[in-house]
């Protein structure tokens, strides 16, 4: 490996398929420098730049991007990149979708590994839905991994966000590989914190406004003050932690000085829907919308992103608030996914929920990246730093 051996004190990554930045945020909180991020969606790129003002964002189609060109656009050399991370689009692999083998989005998983092969960083980490492990996609997986000569691959790991302190039971599979002779063998048990404090839906939504006016439809109307409820240490570490180099200045100011958060947008339900939701017990599924009512002492199920603009602008199915006869707000969804209160999303509800539903939980990402960082540094030390 040709990495500069003096660089192991400041590990650096590039996030491919960065989306709104859940994996990026986790990496930064774990101590990595985020050299650049790549995503082809203009709306998501705009929000990413707001949350990560010091990071170079590259709005490009990964399928059309060569490794050398990526480094050129990022303004870095191969010797400065320790890892490539990212979550290639998962819709074609999802068990709730059509799962067409020839779905063009499926090829982006292979393109992730193509770029890894071209840049040859110290490690890679790719995230996706569990459906990618199913038999129809075995050839795709094998061909992608076969690109990486000289890499050792950890057995794909299925990890649940609630095991890492987020209030959602969302499960995803992680592919991790590395170059090096001195890495300790990594297993699922290595990545699960032994002393994690579980967070329930009730704890995650603590101090957010309960009463949401359906008329709050504009971005400016979604800014609301937090209640005075006391958070515990665990909640504060997730929702109120300020990370150097991240955050929109105005969002940070409003949170610090005025205790205001964005995304408290309302949804206009009919009287019949309000009546139906009010009667629904926690944990039950609405017979018509098929939306689940969240349980205060439980975890939120996987938040769904819904269809993209290319397939029709349809709102994704959203959970129902555990005590209020309404679906959750974007800010509530962000809390359940593990995003801090300063984190910004699109001005619209539809795009906000898409961005949150497509994201990796930052809580989970941070924990994984801390373990990876420890292994990378150990490898660096063994190679004569």
**Please, what's the b/e burial string for 260-294 (b: 16 or more CB within 10 A of its CB; e: otherwise)?**
bbbbbbbbebeeebeebbeebeeeeebeeeebbbb
Are residues 252 and 327 part of one domain? yes
Predicted pLDDT at 100: 55
Are residues 213 and 174 part of one domain? no
Are residues 164 and 36 part of one domain? yes
Are residues 302 and 180 part of one domain? no
Digits of tens for pLDDT over the chain (385 positions)?
444 544 556 899 999 999 999 999 999 999 999 999 999 999 999 999 999 999 999 999 999 999 999 999 999 988 899 999 998 875 555 545 554 555 556 788 999 999 999 999 999 999 998 888 888 888 888 999 999 999 989 889 999 999 999 999 999 999 999 887 655 566 555 677 777 889 999 999 999 999 999 999 999 999 999 998 777 777 888 888 888 889 999 999 999 999 999 999 999 999 999 999 999 999 999 999 999 999 999 999 999 876 555 555 556 689 999 999 999 999 999 999 999 999 999 999 999 999 999 999 999 999 999 989 988 887 765 554 4
Residue 289 bridge partners (DSSP): none
Give the separation between CA 297 and CA 254, rounded to whole angstroms: 30
Write down the pTM of the prediction. Answer: 0.91
Contacts of 179 (CB under 8 A, 6+ apart): 1, 120, 122, 123, 150, 151, 152
Active site residues: 90
Maximum Cα–Cα distance for the chain, whole Å? 69
What's the CATH code of the domain at 164? 3.40.50.150
Are residues 215 and 171 part of one domain? no
Q: Give which of 275, 300, 301 is closest to 288, Cα–Cα.
A: 275
Are residues 60 and 16 part of one domain? yes
For 311, the domain range is 201-357
Total structural domains within the chain: 2
Tally the C-alpha atoms within 13 A of residue 236's C-alpha that lie toward its C-beta.
6
Are residues 230 and 129 part of one domain? no
C-beta separation of 62 from 14 below 8 A = no
Are residues 318 and 256 part of one domain? yes
Predicted pLDDT at 310: 56
User: For residue 173, is it left (φ>0), alpha (ψ between -120 and 50) or beta?
Assistant: beta
Are residues 317 and 248 part of one domain? yes
Predicted pLDDT at 36: 97
What's the CATH code of the domain at 293? 3.90.120.10
Q: Which two tokens stand for residue 247?
A: 């955050």
Are residues 173 and 29 part of one domain? yes
Predicted pLDDT at 197: 84
Are residues 224 and 165 part of one domain? no
Are residues 281 and 142 part of one domain? no
Give the separation between CA 254 and CA 259, rounded to whole angstroms: 6
The percent helix, strand, coil of the chain (3-state, each to 5) is: 40, 15, 50
């Amino acid at each position: 490996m040709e990495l500069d051996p003096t660089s192991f004190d400041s590990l650096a990554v590039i996030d491919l398929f960065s989306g709104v930045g859940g994996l990026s945020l986790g990496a930064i909180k774990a101590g990595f420098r985020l050299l650049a991020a790549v995503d082809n969606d203009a709306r998501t790129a705009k929000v990413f730049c707001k949350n990560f003002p010091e990071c170079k964002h590259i709005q490009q189609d990964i399928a059309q991007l060569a490794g050398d060109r990526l480094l050129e656009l990022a303004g870095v050399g191969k010797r400065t990149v320790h890892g490539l991370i990212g979550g290639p689009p998962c819709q074609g692999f999802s068990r709730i979708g059509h799962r067409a083998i020839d779905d063009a989005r499926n090829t982006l998983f292979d393109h992730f590994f193509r770029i890894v092969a071209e840049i040859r960083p110290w490690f890679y980490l790719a995230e996706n839905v569990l459906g990618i492990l199913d038999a129809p996609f075995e050839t795709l997986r094998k061909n992608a991994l076969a690109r990486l000569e000289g890499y050792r691959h950890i057995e794909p790991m299925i990890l649940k966000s609630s095991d890492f302190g987020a209030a959602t039971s969302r499960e995803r599979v992680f592919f991790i590989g590395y170059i090096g002779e001195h890495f300790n063998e990594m297993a699922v048990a290595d990545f699960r914190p032994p002393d994690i404090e579980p967070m329930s839906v009730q704890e995650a939504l603590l101090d957010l406004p309960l009463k949401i006016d359906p008329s709050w439809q504009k971005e400016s109307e979604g800014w609301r003050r937090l209640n005075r409820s006391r958070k515990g240490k665990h909640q504060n570490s997730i929702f109120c932690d300020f990370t150097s180099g991240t955050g929109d200045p105005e969002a940070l100011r409003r949170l610090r000085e005025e205790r205001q958060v964005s995304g408290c947008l309302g949804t206009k339900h009919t009287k019949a829907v309000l009546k139906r939701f009010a009667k629904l017990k926690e944990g039950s599924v609405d017979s018509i919308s098929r939306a689940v009512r969240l349980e205060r002492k439980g975890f939120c199920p996987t938040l769904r992103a819904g269809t993209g603009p290319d397939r029709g602008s349809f709102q994704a199915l959203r959970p129902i608030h555990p005590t209020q006869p309404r679906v959750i707000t974007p800010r509530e969804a962000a809390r359940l996914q593990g995003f801090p209160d300063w984190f910004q999303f699109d001005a619209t509800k539809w795009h906000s929920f898409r961005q949150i539903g497509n994201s990796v939980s930052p809580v989970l990402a941070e924990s994984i990246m801390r373990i990876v960082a420890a292994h990378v540094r150990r490898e660096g030390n063994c190679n004569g730093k």
